[in-house]
Amino acid sequence: MDRNKSNLEDIKQEDVVIDIKGKSMIVSFNMNALAELEERYGDVECGAKELEKGKIKDIRTFLWAALLVNDDNLTEKDVGKLIDITNIKDVVDAINKSFFGALPDPNETPSKT
């Protein structure tokens, strides 16, 4: 199955809890987060391609969208204050697990449950 041509029903939502600056936060790519990414990048697939380049601004944008589930009033600048050299690896891991983990495995046969 082509990952880019998957159906919404194939997506496996995976929320991740991460400790950022002593506060537990949920990293969730729910519909609101995906809509924000779509608005920023034109579509979510383009955003994912940009994220894979590892640019700091894209990491911040993806984390911001995913943290909106915790607080609708967060800004990207607020989120940028939460990320530093000591936690960026954990942040990227949480984004990858929640975002890319939510996409169907291209080698997996969809279950018929």
Residue 110 pLDDT exceeds 80: no
Q: Measured between alpha carbons, how far is 29 from 21 in angstroms, rounded to an integer?
A: 21
Note the pTM of the prediction, 2 decimals: 0.79
Asked whether 2 and 106 are in contact (CB, 8 A), the reply is yes
Q: What confidence category does residue 4 fall into, taking pLDDT thresholds of 50, 70 and 90? A: very low
Asked whether 74 and 67 are in contact (CB, 8 A), the reply is yes
Task: Give the sign of the dihedral formed by CA 7, CA 113, CA 27, CA 31.
Answer: positive
pLDDT tens by residue, 53-70: 999 999 999 999 999 999
